[in-house]
Amino acid sequence: MTNLTNISNEVLISIIGTVFLFTIFYLIFRLTKAEKRRKESDDKFQLLESKINKLELQTLESKLNPHLFKNILNSIQSHAYQTYFALDKLANVLDYILYESRNKFVTPREEIDFALNLIEINKIKISPLFELKIKTKINESEPLLEQRLLAPLVSIDFIENAFKHADLQSADAFIAVVFEFKENVFSLTVSNKMSAKKAMKKEKGGIGVETLEQRLKIIYTDNFKLDRFTEGDIYIAHLKINLLEHKAKMLALR
């Protein structure tokens, strides 16, 4: 009987030891797997950050292209009576491009102010009779209006393209720009009557709407929507970015 008890104890101890070792190996396996996943996640994050930095550098370099400033200065020179006003706006635009756009994010208010300054500069190219409609629909109580969550220079190509491709000669020609910020969503809608003349190929200035869309996909994934379409001879571009959802996603990744 004693021998039987001893054997049973040994078997029990053996089973417990086996289970213990199995548990240890299983935990090691899970920890190794978790560490591998963490490393893969870190690698993906670093790759994503690298892509964003590269695109932001391309954005900055393209905006500093002399071709852009040559066009602006030509416009200012041809309308001497508006020179002081235009140069003041140009100074604001340069400050934003040289300093603020180096940040990964700016506030929606900063981007809207930049875009309005850029529009004012472009206005001197057109006749006072040309229909240029600018609207801002901003809810001042929105908490994210002053938070740095918006990628800089997201509006510049839409505005440049509108003035470049608009029909400035037709009696019913127009450019319309609407900025909205409500329910923590940044929206920009730009529309214009297209010129019948084929626009000259742009040399370099501007990163292009296609590159902008790629940049937005990297930063905001599915928290933005970009639509571009024509209705007859009217071209319409509409950008919407849900900054609240983007912020929530960024906080969840911390």
pLDDT digit string, tens, across residues 191-217? 999 877 654 444 444 456 778 888 899
**Phi/psi of residue 64, nearest 5 degrees:** -90, 5
Tokens standing for residue 179: 């900025």
Residue 23 lies in a domain: no
Q: Kindly report which listed range (73-87, 100-114, 184-198, 237-251) carries the lowest average pLDDT score.
A: 73-87
Question: 130-185: per-residue pLDDT in tens?
Answer: 899 999 999 999 999 999 999 999 999 899 889 888 887 777 889 999 999 999 99
Give the whole-angstrom CA distance, residue 59 versus residue 62.
Answer: 5
Give the DSSP letter of residue 199.
P
Whether pLDDT at 47 is above 60: yes
Percent of the chain with pLDDT over 90: 35
Whether pLDDT at 94 is above 60: yes
The total number of structural domains that make up the chain: 1
Residue 35 lies in a domain: no
Give the whole-angstrom CA distance, residue 168 versus residue 94.
Answer: 26
Give the whole-angstrom CA distance, residue 135 versus residue 157.
Answer: 18
How confident is the model at residue 222, as a pLDDT?
A: 92
* Cα separation of the two ends of the chain: 62
Range among 55-64, 71-80, 150-159, 169-178 rated most confident: 150-159
Q: What is the CATH number of the domain that holds 162?
A: 3.30.565.10
Residue 208 lies in a domain: yes
How confident is the model at residue 175, as a pLDDT?
A: 95
The alpha helices in 100-204, defined as continuous H runs, are: 108-123, 156-165
Residue 145 lies in a domain: yes
Residue 4 lies in a domain: no
Give the whole-angstrom CA distance, residue 137 versus residue 183.
Answer: 12
Instruction: Find how far residue 72's CA is from the centre of its chain.
Output: 24
Give the whole-angstrom CA distance, residue 22 versus residue 218.
Answer: 43
How confident is the model at residue 103, as a pLDDT?
A: 87
Residue 33 lies in a domain: no
Tokens standing for residue 242: 């849900």
Locate tokens 């950008």: which residue?
A: 239
Locate tokens 């937005």: which residue?
A: 216
Domain range enclosing 166? 64-252
Are 210 and 237 in contact by the 8 Å Cβ rule? The answer is no
Give the whole-angstrom CA distance, residue 157 versus residue 191.
Answer: 13
**Phi/psi of residue 69, nearest 5 degrees:** -70, -30
Looking at every residue in the chain, the average pLDDT score rounds to 79
Q: Kindly report which listed range (79-88, 201-210, 220-229) carries the lowest average pLDDT score.
A: 201-210
Residue 6 lies in a domain: no
Residue 98 lies in a domain: yes
Q: What is the pTM of this model?
A: 0.69
Whether pLDDT at 116 is above 90: yes
